[in-house]
């Protein structure tokens, strides 16, 4: 199963493509020591000098290109974290809508996870800090030592949460 994990935004969007080995139950997967594999990750950025509509267009086009290239089975996205800045929250919400639209064009089921759900799935502690997530990810997934932006780690964590939350039954239910 292939998941595209998204840490949504309009300034920076974390994107990760994660593969889970096929044909093994979750217990066999762990027993055999097989890890999920990071196929691709990046932090897509837009220019702060562009207006919000151009930035949203860029996010949508980029997500579309990544989906077309890597052909994921599922899109997993972090839910909106409400900040005190209402303008930022609205723009992130708009970006989430664009991302959901692009997933819909490809018939991808969308799963959403809150920050505490992601933290708990990756570290076992729903209140941990970002350092704990970054430290845990290489233990859970085959990943190179390449330096990554925090948004990429967040996207990887979202994809891993999806794979942990939805075993092979999800894969069987996907219809394109």
> How far is the first Cα of the chain from the last one, in angstroms, to the nearest whole number?
14
Is 78 tagged catalytic?
yes
Question: Which domains, and CATH codes, for the chain?
Answer: 2-173 (3.30.420.10)
Query: pLDDT tens, 128-145?
Result: 999 999 999 999 998 888
Is the pTM higher than 0.85? The answer reads yes
Torsion of CA 126, 128, 134, 135, to 10 degrees: -110
Write down the H helix ranges in the chain.
26-31, 52-70, 86-105, 115-123, 130-140, 150-165, 168-173
Selecting among 78, 102, 152, 154, the annotated active-site residue is 78
Is 150 tagged catalytic?
no
Question: Does the structure show a pLDDT above 50 at 168?
Answer: no
Contact 39, 2 (CB under 8 A): yes
Query: pLDDT tens, 78-96?
Result: 998 766 778 888 999 999 9
Residue 41 DSSP one-character state: E
Selecting among 19, 151, 152, 154, the annotated active-site residue is 151
């Amino acid at each position: 199963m292939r998941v595209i994990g998204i840490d949504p935004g309009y300034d920076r969007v974390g994107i990760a493509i994660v593969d889970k080995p096929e044909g093994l139950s979750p217990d066999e997967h762990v027993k055999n020591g097989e890890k999920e594999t990071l196929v691709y990750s990046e932090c897509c950025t837009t220019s702060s000098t562009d207006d919000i509509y151009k930035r949203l267009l860029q996010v949508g086009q980029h997500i579309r290109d990544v989906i077309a290239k890597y052909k994921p089975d599922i899109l997993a996205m972090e839910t909106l974290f409400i900040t005190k800045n209402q303008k930022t929250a609205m723009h992130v919400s708009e970006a989430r809508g664009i991302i959901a639209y692009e997933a819909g064009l490809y018939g991808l089921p969308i799963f959403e996870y809150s920050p505490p759900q992601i933290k708990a799935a990756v570290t076992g502690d729903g209140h941990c800090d970002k350092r704990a997530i970054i430290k845990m990810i290489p233990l859970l997934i085959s990943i190179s030592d390449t330096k990554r932006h925090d948004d990429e780690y967040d996207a990887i964590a979202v994809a891993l949460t999806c794979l942990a939350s939805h075993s092979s039954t999800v894969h069987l239910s996907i219809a394109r």
